[in-house]
Every structure is written in C-alpha cells, then in structure tokens.
Structure 1
Amino acid sequence: MTLTGIAAQVSTGTNPLTHLFAGAKRLGGVYHLDYERAVIITDDHTKRECGGVPRHGFLLAAATVPDQESQQPLDEDEVILLRVRNVAQLPNQAEVVATRLAAMRDADLRDRPPSDVLDALTSSQIELSAFECEVLGTFYPSTAGGHQFIQWGADLDNVYAGARYFVYTPSPEVLSFIASYPERTEDEIDRGDEPNLITLGHVRFASTRRRAESAGLAQVPVHVRVTDFISRKTAVLGMTRAGKSNTNKTICTAVFEHSRMTDESIGQLIFDPQGEYASVNQQDQTGLRLLGEEWVRIYKFRADPANPQEEALTLNFYNQQELVAVRGLIEECVSDLDAGYVQAFRAAEVTEPDQNDYATQGAFQAARQQASLGRFALYALLAKAGYKVPTGWSGIRIQMAGAMSTLLLADHPDAVTPDTTAGYVRINTADGLQNAMTWLCKRLTEAASKAGLPQQYASLDFTKWQNAGAWNAIRAAYDGTGGTAVLNHLKNYVEFHDPRSSGNFVPKVLKDLADGKIVIVDLSYGSERVGTRMSERLVRGLLDAANNRFRSNLPARKIQIVVEEAHRLFDRENSNKNDTDPWVRLAKEAAKYEIGLMYATQEVSSIDPRILSATHNWVIAHLNSDRETRELAHYYDYAEFADEIRRSEDRGFVRMKTFSGKYIVPVQVAKFDHSMINNARIAAGLLPIDAPNTGI
C-alpha cells in the first residue's frame, strides 16, 4: 500500500507538525495540564461545530498563534495527543449550575425556550463545559534518512501553563494518520522501505454514530502493518457473534497477500471448529478456500475425493496409536443412546495403562491384560460393523491358554496364530477377530446355562473371561445380549475409517505449511475430543519439527496458527500443571521458532497470564462480564475502556493495540469480503474470480 495523506506529506521540508492542523477545528483551550491529564474548556456551540466530543476521542493540543492556527508555525515544536476521558468540573461550576437552573425555571414558567429568556452573555456562560483528557504523548519533528517525519514520545518532557495551549479536533485525514501511527517507522525511512499496510477498518469512538457521520468522520480508515501479526501473538477477544472470526479472516487474507507480494513463504494453520473457514458461507459470500487449490489445503473428515483441495482427515481405527481419538469418535457415535449396556460400553477401558498409576508390578500387568482383552473385543466389534482390517495389520496380541487356543483352532483353523510367547496368541484378520470373538461369546453363554459347556469344552476354564470387565462390556454390544443399537450406530461411522491411513498426516501438513500454503483443519465433523486429539497431534508435530530446525541451526519457517475457542486449550490450570501439553509448549516456545499465534476467545480470565503477557496485538470486541474486563485491565490502559467494552455490543466494534501502535485505537473492523480474496489472488498471480451467488 502506497503511503498517502499526512504520512506522504511530512517529507516536504516544512515543519511536519503543521500538517496536523490542516482542516482542524478549534475546540477550546487547556486550563489545566500535568504530565498525565489535561482539562480543556469549550462551549456547546463549538462542540456542535466540531461534530461532537465522543468519549475516548483523539484531540490535539499545541501552543499556537490564536488567530490563524493552521497557517502560522507552532510556538513550540510539539503537539500533545489527548484522549477524552470524561466531563470535568469548571472552576466556577457551582455558579454555572445555579445559572442553568434559574434559566430552566424561568423558561418553564414562561413556557418559552431558554434562548428567549436569557441575554447573550448569560447564554454563553451556561454553555461552557470542560472535559478531562488523558495525556497520551507528544508528536514532534525529527529527521531520518535525510527526510523529516513526525516522531512520537509516550509522555511529556515539559509542562507549560495551560493557557498557552489550544485544543483542536483533527480533520478526517489527520485522524487517520493518528489512528494508523506509525505508518512508516524511523528505521523504514532510513532504509527507504515502504511498509505493507492494510485497511483493517475505520475509526469509531462511540456506538452512536450520528454526529460522526454528519461531521464526515464515520469512514476514517485505520491502516495497520501486516508484519505486526507475523511471528507474534495476537489476541482476538469478544463474545460470540462479536466479529472475532471476521477479524481473523481479514488478517489471514492480508498475511497471505503479503507473503505472495514479498515471495516469502508464510504458512498458516487454521483450526476450524465450526467449518466456517473451510467453506463459502452465506454470511460472507466468499471464503479463504477461494484463494485457490494450489494455495489452500483443507483437511477434513468426509473429504470429497474428487476435490483436489481437500484431504481426508480419517483414522485407521485399528491403529493402536490412534486409540484415544478412535474411542472419542465412537463415544460420539453412541452419545444419543442411554441404555445401561451402552454406558458400560462407553466406560470400557481399552487404552494402555500408565504404570505410575499402580502400586505394584503385578497390579500393572493385570490392568494391561484387562485392557488388551478389551481392545480385542473392540476390534472384533469394528470388524463385525464393516470396518475393513488393513492389509498387513500386525494384529492384536492376547493371553489365551494353550488348550483353549487348540480347541478354537479346531473349530476355526485360521482364527488365531500362536505367539512366540507361550500362552499368547495373535489375531490379525477380520475373520479371525469375529470367529474368535463369536466362539468365546458362545462358550461363555453355554457355561452360564443350566446345560453347561459341551463335553469337548468341559475342561476349559473361562474364569478369566468371565471377570474381564472391559471385554464383557463390549461383548454385550457384539453378541447382542445388551442390544444391537451400538453395532447399528457404528455402521454409520465407517466413513471415518481408512485402512490405508498410517494416521500420520502431520508430515503432509508440515510440507504444505513449508510451501507457504493456508492449511485449514476442518473439525466440524466428529466430537470435540477427536478434534482436540487431532489438533494436539498437529501442534506437537509442528513444534518438534521447528525444534529440530532450531537445534540444527537452520532458519526458522514462519508459520501462523489460528485457534478459535482458545479458552479450551490455554487454560491456566493446565498451563501450570503440564509443561508437556502441546498448547502450553506452543504458547511458550512460539516466538523462538517465529511461529505466530492468533487466539480467539471470550474467556480472557481462563488464559494463562504468561500467554497474555507475551501477546503483542490486542483486538478487543464486546465482553459482557466485569470479571473478563478486570482481567483485561491488567494490560496497557484497557481499564479506561472497560465500561464501553461491556456496554457496546456492536459487531466488529473493537479497541485495538498493535505491536507497532503506540496507543489503543477504537476501530470498526471492515467486513471480510470478496474483494479481499481477489486482491490476494492477484498478489499470488491468479486471476480474480466472481463471488459465489453474487455474479460480481
């Protein structure tokens, strides 16, 4: 983006501060000034002429020639930036209030407007008012690279008597300069660089916009530098439907456009819990996937095999390394069933136990055996439901007495294979799983009947199987003794299983990111537990790869990660207890690896304060709780905005502080639209395309 307006004018050789008063309107004067606050005096007529004085509005104070402020040089080469905080008391406030009361009384008694019963002097007196303002800092002229520019200091280095200062409301052009400062830094001027800026939105001081519109201040653009969001942490905070996703999409598109313009690979990994990033939704009438199949890859369950942009995010249900995710998906599958046997089925423990949870080695080995029998029953149930066993599957190894395996093989010659360890067998086919499971179920049913076991099986001891809790819980679903609902439900989830999947989709994702692509992980299908498992695995793989490059002294690969519903992942309790958690690692190690993190949540108080303290960019929309705004008040001067953040529910109305920005700026974030997509496509060397369903 080419610099325009004030940013482009200040290098003309004249005092750059004079440009700040072009088109400015004089609001009043300062009658008190210290290092932190200023009190200004004005009147109702002047306020109307200036378009109103909204809370948190920006004002300029300077020691200027009173009659021709915009034409004459400044008495002092500095301009103080003020932010309106609240109304203030006049020195003669009691007298003014008494006069106002008298005027209102007389007007009421005579049934006439106050202007008809007041003389001009009295009318002028009662219209006086004052505002308390926060001193944000000082603009002053400086030189870099042989060019003049407007420098910023976050304080005052001197305080004159208040009567020397006059106060102005900036013109739309100057207001844009203030809200976007610095559009060009001193270092960039020295190097001759032009920063890549995007118009994130427009200045918005208040929910009520009537006076801003009449004064021509409702569409003042706010420019931010894209590089502020790259390799840094960004918090996008606000209630549901407050515009967080809109902001994220706008920034993601801008980062992609920047990467293509600079030919720098910046991969973006977006965890999409609702599927809104992966699709062209009705609200946006556009979507990130329209950036092109060569630049956007979507990993999802139920991927369309005919769509080259989509990759299947499937599981090999027989891969023991994916057992946690598999169990999560199965639990979701039967979540609408409440029969007792279903509850037992869901509670059956089939994962490998942790030895640290057991006091003795014997207890640990017993738990391992119980879990292995449970896995055997689960895999047999899956085979019965139509889940294809992978070719070359290593199978499941279970303990089975020699006499029992001999009789089983007599009935089903290929059901099991004797293991190298005596007393163990291995099962590695679908027929073997079902034949062995069916045979055992039948034998236990016979053993429990009055007739007992047939003679050829009478010598067998089934006590271990009768006491195998996990195995029996799953058996009730397998043989129908509990019911057939679980089996029927599982048949509807076969599409989540891919026997060819190694379960290791991480390398493919890492390659896409290294190539500078946008990778969207669509988690809208499947349970939250499955989505969490998939996300954790990706983040862990990403961090391990970044760590390997770091230790090998290789340059870091810039990657941006976008996380919705971050309070589920970055909670304080987990951060304090588990440093091995991938999300905790990401929060702590991302900067070292040049991994940017943009996290969105409505629960600021749930985020570990170490993450919040390391956040560079803040985009704060509506929050409805004083608990959340109190937490937010610990950072910068957001305490000043707490009441408005709770009160204003306008979608996209945010208070923003960026890495380069010097102060908080109230912004109405621009709506994510198709023109952003087409601008990014052009930067990538692609032709613009029509917006879906609009024909534009």
Structure 2
Amino acid sequence: MAEVNDFRKELEDIAKTDIFEVANDQENFVGNPFKIDYDRTSILTCDDWKYNVGGIAQGCFLLAFYENDFGDDEVHEALLIRAIRPCPIPSDSSVISSRIEYFKEELKTAGKNRQIDQFTRFEFSCSGLECSILGTFYKDKDGVIEFGADLENFYSPHLYKVYKPSGKYLKYIVNLRDSDGPLKPESNFQIGNVRYSSSRKNYDVDVNSQESVLMHTKDILGKRTALFGMTRTGKSNTVKKLIEATEELSQKSNQQSDQRSTNFEDNLSPYYENEVPKDEVGQIIFDINGEYANKNLQDGTAIFEKYDKKVTRYSVLEKDNFEVLKINFYRDVVAGQELMRGYFKQLGKQSDYVEDFLGVSLEDSGDLVGGDKIRYNRKIAAYKCCLKLAGFPVSGPDKLYFDGCAELNTQVKTGGIDPKKGVSYDDAITWFSQVWKHYEEWDYLKNYETNRGKPWADNDLKAALRFLTQYRRPRERGPVNSYIKLRSLIKYHTTSATELFEDNICKLVREGKIVIVDLSQGDPEIQNLYSEKICRAIFNSSMKNFIDAKPNNFIQFYFEEAHNLFPKKDDKDLSQIYNRIAKEGAKLNLGMVYATQEVSSISSNILKNTQNWFIAHLNNEDEVKELRKFYDFRDFADALIRFSAKNDKGFVRMKTYSNPFVVPIQVKLFT
C-alpha cells in the first residue's frame, strides 16, 4: 500500500508541475535562437552554458520561452524543441581561420595557462545548434497549461531564450499525455527512464536527466505496438515488460470484479473510472525461439515461471507440462483438411489431383438426409482411407460405415464386402479401389447416370478416389504419389479425442489467461499455419461477440521474430489475418505487439496502423529511411546507426499512442 501511495504522490506532483518555472533559473539557460520557422529553429550556445546544464546530447529536450509581452497582455508560451545537430553560424569562417593560425603558432588555447584572451576564448566556444520544434506549451484563459503538437505562430527569434529542463520538469514533459485529466496510479506503470545518449557522463550530480517514463493502460491494450532493432538490443526484454505490465492490469481488474455489470450501457466502455480494464486481459505469445516458454541462459527468466498459475504452454512436440498442437485427423476431418491446405499452400502450387483432393468439401451441414447423406458418408469414408494409406495411425472406431449396393458389394471381392454393416479400413480401401478401377466397366456404374440423371460418384468423391487409388482415370494407373505426399503431416496427428487446440486456446484467453505457443521446434510452414489458425479463431470469436453486441475482453497478441509470420512488405492481401487484426483489431479489443529486426520486413498495412513504437539500434540507412516516414523518428536518424553492444541494450526511442512525440528511454530490466 505504501508503494501505491508513493506512486500516487509522484503522479500528483507531475500534475502540479508548472513548466514555465524552468525559465526562472538561469542555471538552465543554454542559448538564444537566431533563426526560426514552423518546423526548425537554430540557436546560439557556448561551452559554458552547455557544461552548466550537464551537456546537450543529441535528441535532448529544450524549451524556448517567449519573453516579450504585447501591451498589457502577458504571453505564456514555450516551444518544446529537440536538439538535432550542429548548425553553422556567421562567425564560423573567421573563427576557423583564427584557430588554424593559433595552431600554426603552437599557442596554447586551453587550460589554465592558455595564450588567448577572454574575448577570443568566448568566440571559440560559441556554436550553433539546430533543433526540431515538437510543439508549444501555453496557458489557456483559465491559466491551465496545455500542449499543442505544432506551432500556431512564431515571433522574431531574438525574443526567445532557450533553457534545458531537468528533474520534475523533464518528468512532466516525457509523461505528457494527449488525454485530459491527471495520471491515475492504477493504470500507469514505469517502462523505463529518460536516456539521451549511449555515453552517460555525469557533469553534475544535481542535474537529473534520468527521470522515470510511464506508459498508460490505453497505450497498450487493444493497440498495435512495434519493436524494431538488431538482435541483442533488448527487444525481448521490452516485450516481457509489456507482458508483465498487462498481467498487473489484469490482476487489478480481477480485484475490482465486484464492480462488473451486465447492463449494456455500463459495458460501452471497457474500462472502470480508474482506467483499469473491466475484464481480465488474455495474452497469447507466439514464441518462435522458445525463450518465453522455457527458461533461457540470456536473462535466466521466463514468463511461464513468473506466472506459472496462469500460463498454459503449447508445443508442436509432445513434452512434459505442455499441451500439444496436434489434430486428430480422423475425428476432426475439416480441421485436418484445413491444416493440409495451409501446409501445401506454403509449399506453392501443387498438382491438379492434389488441389482437387484438398478442395473436397468435408463440411457437414447437419441437415443432410436420404441420398445426400449417403453420398456424404461415402466421401468421408474414402477420405479416411486416404489417411490410412498415408500412414496416419487410426483413431477411434476401427471400422467404417457407409452405403454401397448389393451388386457392387459382390463384385469388389470374392465373398463380397458390405460396408453398411461396418468394414475394416483395409476392406474399405479394397472396396473403393475396385469400384474406381472398374468404374467404366461394371454395368451398375455405367448405367447409373442414364437411369438416375447424375453420376454415381460426384466430383468430390472422384477426387478422393483418384487420390486413394493413384488412378488418374479408371483402369489407368498414373505415376502419381497422391497420399504419399501427406506423410510429412503425420507428426501433427494425434490419436487422442481432445478439443481442437485453437478452440481451447480461445477459451483460455477469454478467461484472462496467458498462453505461450512454443513454435521453436516446428517447420516454418507449420509455424505459419498454426499461428494463423489460432489468430483467426480468436479474431472470429471476437467478431462474433462484436456483431452480437457482447463485450470483448482485451486480448494481446505477441509475435517474436514477426517477419517469419507476417505478410511481406509488398503483400497487399488485406484478408490475411495479421492485416485484419492490425486494421480491425481496435474495435474488437485485440492488441498486437510484434518484434523484428527490420522495419522493411513488415507489411505496410500493419506499419500504417501501428500506434506504439520502440526503436533500438538499426545498422543500415535503408531501415532508417523506412523509419523516417513515421512520426518524428527522423530526429534520431543519425543516432540509431551508432551502437555500443556493452552499454546500449534496452536503449530505445519510444513513441506511444498517448504521447505526442518520441521519447528516448532506457527500458527497465525484466526480472
């Protein structure tokens, strides 16, 4: 409780901060603007001023205060600016010439015994600094401080003075929100601290530039969040911090469960008044590298250990304490066929007989009767025979039941086979094989279409029989592998009669649980397939609730190594489930957090719908060029290329949904 009260007081102090007090302390002064427009300003500064404020790092925040009133009107206005790079000043050429002359004469220009006069020393210390303008602090008619993310008007640059904020004033700036009202302790959490540069030299212990940076509930729940950066720059640690924060929000929701209501109007907002979600938040992590599902050597931690009572782990392999991502192909014929389709789709175009087999309709409408029911059962039996021939271990009853006819039953085998009474899989295979082999010879089959007006075998059954017998046409055995192609899918078959894994996962996240899908040991094709299958099931469930006017709890998707799963940059197929979550997920309370090395590897449809950005080190200009397109990341284009493997893990530039500009931070370590 004491910790909560301390945090509440910290937020109250932020709310009470008067940013205009920064200009009252001349120790914060760093220079004067000499050029200004709507986007940029250039200021004159000098070494002493920079030293007094603890240095001016690239990307640091500064404030340009307007200091001239018009008549009796007081103007309360301060431009929030960011230091970008040095810029030329008119005296540069003469100063450079003088420096060179001093160097030629080997005169000492620094230290206590320097051989230059005070005036020259001051001239040498002056420099220009280009800054970007992020917006304007001003007071409204009621004296309340507001922030606008642009420049409505600017005056002559000599009427401004520039100061560097630190301490509580810096904390006020980096925790600025676009929303009204004070920050609430229940719905905010610390993501990290302000960090301007890779080097962390302390000029003055009294100058604090490492203030805490907060994130808000509404910044992450139901939003799209991107994490970009080279390997080992702290992306996974940031993801774990977001998972941790989300779980804490979920626990707070559970503590307020007595406030929940079934009234429709009360559920129009998914949040309580303190901005805690009304329902527990479900989280699902697609773990390509296995670092969330298993304890790893990099940081010695795992999400499943910290929240073991809420975590369910899934794997494509059968392992202790893991649920298995497998399908009973005999019991769930539709789901099994969907898995086949997805698998072969990843492999590219297939032969016609394979495409025809994958196109066989196995859906049971539930209202089939008479001849339609007979044909459906016959088709399902032929499909299961293909599975048996491919080597899928039989699950469930060891007999198949379907209608033949007396004439065919006696022709397929000496002594006859009557499938209506139930036959073994081997006898069923014999029955179907003989029928297809003699399809154009036996009188019953030849005359069926003439007598009934339709063929005995419809197109779906013919496709299954071709696949089963390897006969492209009756009497003609073709050189096709057919069912042999299915053998690579046997490892994804289970003989247990469990619930479909995607349905079970959907139930778990609806209950506010954490699901980790360990894809580290699966084929790339299956990684994509299972990920898409699970995402689509959750998306469809949320869409159904939305259409039926039922509330959806927040569900957060996490994708590590997202480039392995997401559509590529130029893929314009908006029907892909990841594109749909990105574009439609907000209204369904579906959030997406994705991490990868390259901005250019992600579909533009997903990037354009991303609200939160965490950018670590990028090692080439092409990626930085892609990043320049979004928000004010162009201000950090130069700095993102530089990196210290020892010091810069977790050093990111962060843009959140509710914060109007990018903030450079050091992300806290997940423990």
TM-score norm. by structure 2 comes to: 0.74
Q: Helix, strand or coil: the match of 2:563?
A: helix
CA distance in 1, matches of 2:649, 2:399: 53
Please tell me the residue identity of whatever aligns with 1:230: L
Please tell me the residue identity of whatever aligns with 1:315: I
Please tell me the residue identity of whatever aligns with 1:238: G
Distance 1:19-1:506 versus aligned 2 partners, 3 A rule: same
- Aligned pair 1:86/2:85, yes or no? yes
Q: Helix, strand or coil: the match of 2:391?
A: helix
Distance 1:302-1:132 versus aligned 2 partners, 3 A rule: same
Shift of 1:428: 5.4
Distance 1:243-1:375 versus aligned 2 partners, 3 A rule: farther
Query: Which residue of 506, 509, 514 maps to 2:505?
Result: 509
Shift of 1:202: 2.0
Please tell me the residue identity of whatever aligns with 1:382: G
1:298-323 per-residue CA deviation (whole Å, 9 max, x = no partner) reads: 22234556x4xx42222224454314
**Partner of residue 405, structure 1:** 412
**Partner of residue 287, structure 2:** 272
CA distance in 1, matches of 2:558, 2:521: 19
**Partner of residue 244, structure 2:** 253
Query: Which residue of 485, 489, 496 maps to 1:500?
Result: 496
Query: Which residue of 516, 519, 536 maps to 1:520?
Result: 516
**Partner of residue 443, structure 1:** none
CA distance in 1, matches of 2:97, 2:399: 92
Alpha carbons 1:393, 1:428 under 8 Å: kept: yes
**Partner of residue 50, structure 2:** 47
CA distance in 1, matches of 2:204, 2:666: 14
Q: CA RMSD in A?
A: 4.4
Alpha carbons 1:315, 1:326 under 8 Å: kept: no
Alpha carbons 1:10, 1:19 under 8 Å: kept: no
Please tell me the residue identity of whatever aligns with 1:655: R
Alpha carbons 2:409, 2:418 under 8 Å: kept: no
CA distance in 2, matches of 1:398, 1:630: 67
CA distance in 2, matches of 1:56, 1:286: 33
Shift of 1:231: 0.9
Alpha carbons 2:28, 2:163 under 8 Å: kept: yes
Q: Helix, strand or coil: the match of 1:140?
A: strand
CA distance in 1, matches of 2:578, 2:295: 29
Alpha carbons 2:385, 2:429 under 8 Å: kept: no
Query: Which residue of 6, 16, 32 maps to 1:11?
Result: 16
**Partner of residue 596, structure 1:** 591
Query: Which residue of 325, 333, 337 maps to 1:313?
Result: 325
**Partner of residue 133, structure 1:** 131
- Aligned pair 1:586/2:577, yes or no? no
- Aligned pair 1:556/2:552, yes or no? yes
Alpha carbons 1:51, 1:214 under 8 Å: kept: no
Alpha carbons 2:617, 2:640 under 8 Å: kept: yes
CA distance in 1, matches of 2:427, 2:308: 43
Please tell me the residue identity of whatever aligns with 1:243: G
**Partner of residue 652, structure 1:** 650
Shift of 1:250: 0.8
Alignment of 1:428-507 (within 5 A): 429=425, 467-471=477-481, 474=484, 497-501=493-497, 504-507=500-503
**Partner of residue 458, structure 2:** none
Alpha carbons 2:53, 2:207 under 8 Å: kept: no
Distance 1:504-1:219 versus aligned 2 partners, 3 A rule: same
**Partner of residue 35, structure 1:** 38
CA distance in 1, matches of 2:580, 2:95: 61
Shift of 1:229: 0.6
**Partner of residue 419, structure 2:** 418
Distance 1:280-1:58 versus aligned 2 partners, 3 A rule: same
- Aligned pair 1:533/2:529, yes or no? yes
Please tell me the residue identity of whatever aligns with 1:134: S
Alignment of 1:620-631 (within 5 A): 620-631=615-626
- Aligned pair 1:546/2:542, yes or no? yes
Q: Helix, strand or coil: the match of 2:16?
A: coil
- Aligned pair 1:187/2:180, yes or no? yes
Greater Cα shift, 395-404 or 214-223: 395-404
Query: Which residue of 368, 375, 389 maps to 1:380?
Result: 389
Shift of 1:152: 0.9
CA distance in 2, matches of 1:474, 1:186: 60
Distance 1:641-1:371 versus aligned 2 partners, 3 A rule: farther
Q: Helix, strand or coil: the match of 1:52?
A: coil
Alpha carbons 2:337, 2:358 under 8 Å: kept: no
CA distance in 2, matches of 1:646, 1:160: 35
Segments of 5+ residues of structure 1 without an aligned counterpart are 66-73, 336-344, 357-368, 411-415, 421-425, 441-460, 478-485, 674-696
CA distance in 2, matches of 1:417, 1:549: 47
Shift of 1:83: 0.4
Alpha carbons 1:103, 1:114 under 8 Å: kept: no
CA distance in 1, matches of 2:101, 2:52: 27
TM-score norm. by structure 1 comes to: 0.72
Alpha carbons 1:80, 1:138 under 8 Å: kept: yes
Alpha carbons 1:316, 1:503 under 8 Å: kept: no
Q: Helix, strand or coil: the match of 2:412?
A: helix
CA distance in 1, matches of 2:308, 2:404: 46
- Aligned pair 1:391/2:397, yes or no? yes
Shift of 1:545: 1.3
- Aligned pair 1:671/2:662, yes or no? no
Alpha carbons 2:385, 2:428 under 8 Å: kept: yes
Q: Helix, strand or coil: the match of 2:181?
A: helix
Shift of 1:498: 2.4
Alpha carbons 2:225, 2:613 under 8 Å: kept: yes
Please tell me the residue identity of whatever aligns with 1:390: G
Q: Helix, strand or coil: the match of 1:107?
A: coil
Q: Helix, strand or coil: the match of 1:590?
A: helix
Identity of aligned residues (%): 30
Please tell me the residue identity of whatever aligns with 1:406: K
Distance 1:393-1:627 versus aligned 2 partners, 3 A rule: farther
1:361-386 per-residue CA deviation (whole Å, 9 max, x = no partner) reads: xxxxxxxx999989745523425xxx
CA distance in 1, matches of 2:652, 2:329: 45
**Partner of residue 446, structure 1:** none
Segments of 5+ residues of structure 2 without an aligned counterpart are 255-278, 362-377, 436-469
1:45-95 per-residue CA deviation (whole Å, 9 max, x = no partner) reads: 332232222111111222469xxxxxxxx9742222110111111222222
Please tell me the residue identity of whatever aligns with 2:114: D
Please tell me the residue identity of whatever aligns with 2:389: A
CA distance in 2, matches of 1:37, 1:573: 32
Distance 1:186-1:314 versus aligned 2 partners, 3 A rule: closer
